[in-house]
Each structure stands twice: as C-alpha cells, then as structure tokens.
Amino acid sequence: MNDRLKVFSGTANPQLAQEICAHLEVALGAANISTFSNDNIFVHIGENVRERDVFVVQPVQTPASIVELLLLLDTLRSASAARITAVIPYYSYARSDKKDMPRISIAARLLADVIVRAGANRVLTMTLHSPQVQGFFSVPCDHLAATPILCDYFAAKLDLSDFVALAADAGSAKRAGAYAQRLDIPLAFVDKRRVSDLDVEVRNVVGEVRGKHVIIFDDEIAAAGSLAETVNAIRRFDVGDVYAAATHGVLSGPAPERIRDMDVREVVVTNTVHVPPEKRDAKVTVLSVASLFGEAIKRIHTGESVSALFS
C-alpha cells in the first residue's frame, strides 16, 4: 500500500489493529494515548496525517473506549486528514436501537451522531446486533459479517452432513440463515423471553433438531445466560454434539464460568473484542477477522466494492 493510507488504534484492541496492518503491509500509526490522574484521556498523533486517508481501529465497548475514539477522530480532523474512517469492530450500543420502554435513550443513534460530529467521514463495522443501526450514521457505513470466517472454520473442522444451524432467538433467524445457507445445513431457531439483564427463559425450539448435531449462531456472547439456557433447552431433544459461534466474544461477568459448566464441545468467537487469557477456557476458540477488515480497508482506500467480499 502507498503512504497515503494510515491506520491508527485506540487501546481497546491494539492486537487486532496490528494484525490488520500486517495484512495491509503498513506500519501502525504513532498515537500516544494516556490517562491523567483525574481520568481525563489525552491523545497525541505522532506523525503527519495531512491529506492522508486515515482509518482508526477501536471497538466501542466501554466508556473509556468511546472517549478514546472520539478524541482520536477529533485530533485527526484537526490535523487535516483528508478522510477519516472509524473502524468499529464491535458497536456495543447497537442493542439500544429503539424506544421500547418509556423515558430511555436511543443510544445507538446518539452515539452514531457523536461519532460523526467528532470527525468520522465514514464508518466500517461488523455484525451489528440490529442491522438498522447502519442507517443511523449520516455518513457512509460499511457493515461486514464474520460469516465467511466462522463458516470456513466449521467446514474445515467438521463433517456437517448431520448438523443443524440454530438461531439463538427468532430475531437472529435471518442472520443464522446466512450461516446455514453457506454451510448448506438446515436451520432451526429458539423461542425465548428475556427475564432479566443476565437471564433468559427458553419456551420452545422451532425446527427439527432431535438426534442432530447443532451449531448455535448468535451475534455476540456477553454474560452467556442466553447461550446456557439455549444449550439446556436443546438437550431435551436428545441432540448430539453442540457447538456455539458468535462474532463478538464479549464474555462479560459470569460468562467464563458459565461456558466452563456448559455442555458444549466448543465456543467459537472472533477477535473483534480482545479476549484476555483468563477468559479463554479450553472450550473457547478465538478466530481473527483481521484479514476481512484489512481487505475492506484496502477496498475503501482504492474505491473498490466492499460488498463483493461476500459475493
């Protein structure tokens, strides 16, 4: 790649940014990010970005990661970058996409507005919990899917002749359908109700899973309560081996312990979110999406089609 392309990273997932740079064969841009004793965050860009095509890699997961992203965008805008693309592998507030109870914020839209106001001319993200959030940005937004990464892994590892793809809920059926179609296996889904922030109740399984091996597909695994209930529910149908796959391995709160106790062969996630060693149970496999993001960045930089990646 030429020197007009620059990639910078916040502190939320620098490992992924380094892998993306390795794919692009460019050096990660110099950015000094530090925190003062009063928790204020300081950002300094350590190289010239004037009239460059700049990409900022930062998952939006914690308050600090959001502030870092906004400060990086604003700093690069002030430094006269020609175009700034916010590369957000994980956009956690995508769950807050509607006003489904009184007196709450539609946080996904609010954050989208703030990111654009801070300086983003374009957004590149992956597997939004609610796909309509892509339309909340007033600048172009490319929405990637981890489907080829996850499917290629299972296709190389397993004989899929007796497998079923299982959507974690009815709302995920369309997304899981893309996995089922790519793997050429049947699709089923779970009817469930959320009873608290950490727990859900499974009512029924729609589709034929009895006697089959199952791969449960979801967009993310946070506290893993939904996954645990789903696994327990389908065990009542005498299924064979159970695998689970999700794009975002957040693995928050009780998730690592729940996965250890779960009757599954393997839980496969990607590195859109950094998964530290203490959360990587022997059952947990983390796949890299760096090549997919790297190829998308290359295509954005050169003006080629991003959607063609999934053709």
Q: In sequence order, what are the residues at sequence separation of 6 or more whose Cβ sits closer than 8 angstroms to the Cβ of residue 3?
A: 52
CA distance 258 to 251: 10
DSSP for 116-131? HHHT-SEEEEE--SSG
Backbone angles phi, psi at 26, to 5 degrees: -130, 160
Residue of 98, 99, 192, 212 marked active site? 192
Which amino acid is it at 305? S
Of 84, 80, 73, 90, whose CA–CA distance to 33 is shortest? 73
* Cβ count within 10 A of residue 50: 8
Q: What is the 3-state secondary structure (H, E, C) of 26-42?
A: CCECCEEEEECCCCCEE
192: annotated active-site residue: yes
Number of other residues whose CB lies within 10 A of the CB of residue 41: 16
Residue 40 burial (C-beta neighbours within 10 Å; 0-12, 13-18, 19+)? exposed
Catalytic residue numbers read 192
